[in-house]
Structure 1
Amino acid sequence: MKQWFLLYCKRSEQERAVLNLDRQGVECYYPQVMINKVVRGKRVQVEEPLFPSYMFVYFDPEEISYTTVRSTRGVADFIRQGRMPRPIRPELLYGLMLNENTPEQQVKLSTLPFVKGEKLVLESGQFKGIEAIYQEPDGEKRSFMLINLLGKQVTVSLDNKEIAKK
């Protein structure tokens, strides 16, 4: 039975991993967002992965082995719980897919009104209603949040307008 899993890819090799996994019959998904960025002195919109170096894959472990997927060029390893890769809840991914590249996901360049360690509640987007702890801005003015996702705390990057102070 096919299931979703989370892979960690080698730095900047998500495209290579997708190409090689597609050849093996593994469906791949990594959400991307459009952000405003200054490149060579000009402000441009570029598409970047929402979760750099992470990718969701959909396959049947009885047909394609974990070892085959893990050994694919561009892939570092599965995100695991114990020794076995942990399946991802499909509703989490379908929420990401539905909200990808909606106007709510577009990033505005603005100053961040949050302080490191401040508790927040996400107001919109695929993580609506989830409590988070603000960590720090990244170079593209997105906010890194420490959230309880997939049963443990992980860091994700979100648009400022999706956040409300608690």
Structure 2
Amino acid sequence: MKDWYLLYCKRSEQERAVINLDRQGVECYYPQVTVEKIIRGKRITDFEPLFPSYMFVYFDPEAISYTTVRSTRGVADFIRQGAKPQVVSPDLIYGLMMNEDSEEQQAKLTNLPKPGDTLKLTQGQFKGIEAIYQEPDGEKRSFMLINLLGRPVKVSVQNEDLIKL
């Protein structure tokens, strides 16, 4: 009887494991989410694993042995409960599939403000001041507009020093 199981994969080899497991007739589910990042000063949209180094597989252990799946290139081992691989509830898998592309999930994982967003500075000489996000300044900093002596002033601050209002 087919069941869902959870595999632990070797670091950065999930895609290799998916290809090799597909060749063996094992159905794989590797949930990914869309995230926005700043790389070299540019905003890009990328996919990241929801559970890094883990993937769900659906197969019949009577047709394909646990050893065959575990010995596949890219796979480290099953997540086990005692000596046997842990069976994962199908409801959990289908719930993940339904929520994988939801806008709410993507909004939680998007870590960049949009130009014009009002933020509050939490560190440094401008601590506690509200600012308006302008644009990225490299990978770890952003340009902000703050009101200083009645005039808007453009400053560069660390992204980790910002919180959304």
Q: Matches of residues 63-102 of structure 1 in structure 2 within 5 Å?
A: 63-102=63-102
2-structure distance, mates of 1:62, 1:40: 50
SS in 2 for 1:62: coil
User: Residues 98-131 of structure 1: CA distance to partner in whole angstroms, max 9, x if unpaired?
Assistant: 11111011123269xxxxxxxxxxxxxxxxxxxx
Q: Matches of residues 1-166 of structure 1 in structure 2 within 5 Å?
A: 1-106=1-106, 107-109=109-111
Tell me the amino acid that sits aligned with residue 68 of structure 2: T
Tell me the amino acid that sits aligned with residue 108 of structure 1: T
Partner of 1:143: none
Q: Which has the larger radius of gyration?
A: 2
2-structure distance, mates of 1:109, 1:33: 13
2-structure distance, mates of 1:16, 1:61: 21
2-structure distance, mates of 1:17, 1:100: 21
1-structure distance, mates of 2:31, 2:110: 18
| Count of matched residue positions in the alignment of Structure 1 and Structure 2 | 111
Unpaired segments ≥5 residues, structure 1: 112-166
Tell me the amino acid that sits aligned with residue 18 of structure 1: V
Shift of 1:30: 1.1
TM-score w.r.t. structure 1 length? 0.65
Partner of 1:148: none
2-structure distance, mates of 1:47, 1:108: 11
2-structure distance, mates of 1:19, 1:43: 30
Unpaired segments ≥5 residues, structure 2: 114-165
Tell me the amino acid that sits aligned with residue 24 of structure 2: Q
2-structure distance, mates of 1:94, 1:47: 20
Q: Contact 2:80–2:86 (CA<8 Å) still a contact in 1?
A: yes
Tell me the amino acid that sits aligned with residue 59 of structure 1: F
TM-score w.r.t. structure 2 length? 0.65
2-structure distance, mates of 1:20, 1:110: 35
Segments ≥4 residues shifted beyond 6 Å: none
